[in-house]
Structure 1
Amino acid sequence: MRLSTVVLPVDRWHEGGRAKWQRAEDLGFHAAYTYDHLSWRSFRDGPWFGAIPTLTAAATATQSMRLGTLVTSPNFRHPVTLAKELIALDDISGGRITLGIGAGGNGFDATALGQDAWTPKERADRLAEFVPLLDRLLTEDAVTARGTFYSAEEARNVPGCAQRPRLPFAVAATGPRGLRLAAKHGQAWVTTGDPKLFEEGTPAQSAEALRGQVTKLGAACAEIGRDVGSLEKILLTGFTPDRPLDSLDAFVDFAGTHYGLGFTEIVLHLPIADSVFAADETVFEKIATEALDQLR
């Protein structure tokens, strides 16, 4: 089991931003991720900085912790330009980048470029084209492709990623098409649980829903002859009815339950006061530094 964190890009770099990423590394987290949004929910009217520049700065301010997006989506990205940025970021970080990628959702920044909101099917259609093209762009020196949504014309990406054959993809998915993408192209799979259970469900119901998602991931892997055990399974917390940050014991119980479901990485949000991610800083640090020892 690995323990990671999310550092939301809400602080100016020289007014707390740098310190948060360095704190995450000092606490011993396996990875620190950030959201790749133009704005997000209750943070829409406050500071919010771009993911790629933030991760680039974090790469120069940390030494060994992995870094990445959780998650990037096609809402405002194009595979050709994203690939170029990721190759540079992977180089600057010394090969420490993981790309979390998913279909995205409606609202917030989904229409920031002036487009109409896409239906769930349209988002799935775009992701199904986006991920394979991005895979090629990160592994081939030159790519030409014609797609319904995304195309490339002699897009060159020499020298490629520092990680070979490319930086890892962590594909966020719960539906059948997304799970098939995770099985085919992912080095990891990401879920936040069943959103229908967040407000009204119980921890037991959430665990059962996650068990079902893991089972479906296994089926998607079996379809292509892949061992589901070769995929890391990441749970981004904060969107289930559980309260794992109430205490060290609460987290250890939570982590043990989800390790039993097959999850190999649990991601906690670095606390932000007066927000939906507010948490007791002392408890958070205790979890970061002591929880994994209790799970071994």
Structure 2
Amino acid sequence: MRTGVLILPEKRWPNAVHQWRTVDELGFDSAWTYDHLSWRGLQDGAWFSTFPVLTAAACSTRRVTLGTLVTSPNFRHPVTAAKDAIAVDDISGGRFVLGIGAGSVGSGDSNVTTKQSFSRRERTDRFEEFVELTDKLLREPVTTHHGAHFSAHEARMIPGCVQRPRLPLAIAATGPKGLTLAARHGQAWVTVGPTDWARGFTPEECLESVTAQVTALREACARVGRDDADLDRIFVVTDMAGDFLKSPKSFLHLAELYALAGITHLVVHWPRGEGIYAADPEILHRIADEALPAAREL
């Protein structure tokens, strides 16, 4: 089991750099941030652009994998997203993962660039085309594509990715089409558990949901002739999954449950001082000291 930390891009860099360096120095496997223009209940607070933040993080860390959880077609275009991803991959020395998802109308920025709210079907269709075109852009030096939602005319991606044949894609999905995309194009799959957050779920229900999703992913891999063991299976922890940051003992207990469910990579949020994801600011140090070695054996 690998463990990562998700850092919200809400602090000015002189303050944020400490977070990224700490994750790197404590020995966590990965460090991520959301790719939004603003986000939910924090939409009127400070929020910085994702790819510049990850570029700065790449220059300030030495070993940790960096990535987006997740980039979406709501306001990104595959050509510019791929170009940015190649740059971060280069600057980081091949430590970048591009997470991609369909996006959510509840995130707070889904219609900032269009004034249009896409239906669930439209988001799914755009997501599918976004993933397929991004995959092609990251593999080929020049790409031309004219699709239903995105176009690229002789889009040049030179010199290409440091990682070959391209940098990894982490596909966030729970539905049949999305899981098929993950099986065909992903090096990792991402879930946050139940998608209807407003309903409320117990930790037991969250675990059951993730277990069922892992099973569905394996079935999708079988349909396309893919070994599901090839995919890193990432669970981004939310409050409904239980209190992973209560103590190292709590973290390890819950990590064991999710390892049994088929998860290979846990991502917890950097403890904030108040509000969402609030926790003891020293807990990551304690988890690194007391739980990470055992977690890696799961």
TM-score normalized with structure 1 length: 0.96
Question: Percent identity over the alignment?
Answer: 48
**2:21 counterpart residue number:** 22
Is contact 2:82–2:134 with CA below 8 Å preserved after alignment? Answer: yes
Aligned residue type for 2:74: N
Alignment of 1:97-246 (within 5 A): 97-107=96-106, 108-196=108-196, 200-246=200-246
- Give me the whole-angstrom Cα distance separating, in 1, the residues matched to 2:132 and 2:57: 28
Aligned residue type for 2:19: K
Residue 198 of structure 1 and its aligned partner are, at CA, apart by 7.1
Q: Which moved more, 1:243-252 or 1:56-65?
A: 243-252
Q: Which runs of 5+ in 2 are unaligned?
A: none
Q: Which string of whole-angstrom CA distances, capped at 9 and with x for unpartnered residues, describes residues 119-142 of structure 1? A: 111100001101010011010011
Residue 183 of structure 1 and its aligned partner are, at CA, apart by 0.3
Residue 199 of structure 1 and its aligned partner are, at CA, apart by 5.6
- Give me the whole-angstrom Cα distance separating, in 2, the residues matched to 1:292 and 1:257: 15
**1:91 counterpart residue number:** 90
Aligned residue type for 1:103: A
Is contact 1:199–1:241 with CA below 8 Å preserved after alignment? Answer: no
Aligned residue type for 2:232: E
**2:38 counterpart residue number:** 39
Residue 294 of structure 1 and its aligned partner are, at CA, apart by 3.0
Residue 200 of structure 1 and its aligned partner are, at CA, apart by 3.5
Paired residues in the alignment total: 295
CA-atom RMSD, angstroms?
1.3
Aligned residue type for 1:37: H
- Give me the whole-angstrom Cα distance separating, in 2, the residues matched to 1:206 and 1:66: 27
Alignment of 1:215-294 (within 5 A): 215-294=215-294
Correspondence 1:54 to 2:57: no
Is contact 1:192–1:240 with CA below 8 Å preserved after alignment? Answer: no
**2:68 counterpart residue number:** 69
> Relative to 1, partners in 2 of residues 1:187 and 1:148: Cα closer, same or farther, differing over 3 Å?
same
Residue 275 of structure 1 and its aligned partner are, at CA, apart by 2.0
Q: Determine helix, strand or coil for the equivalent of 1:76.
A: coil
Residue 228 of structure 1 and its aligned partner are, at CA, apart by 0.7
Residue 239 of structure 1 and its aligned partner are, at CA, apart by 4.7
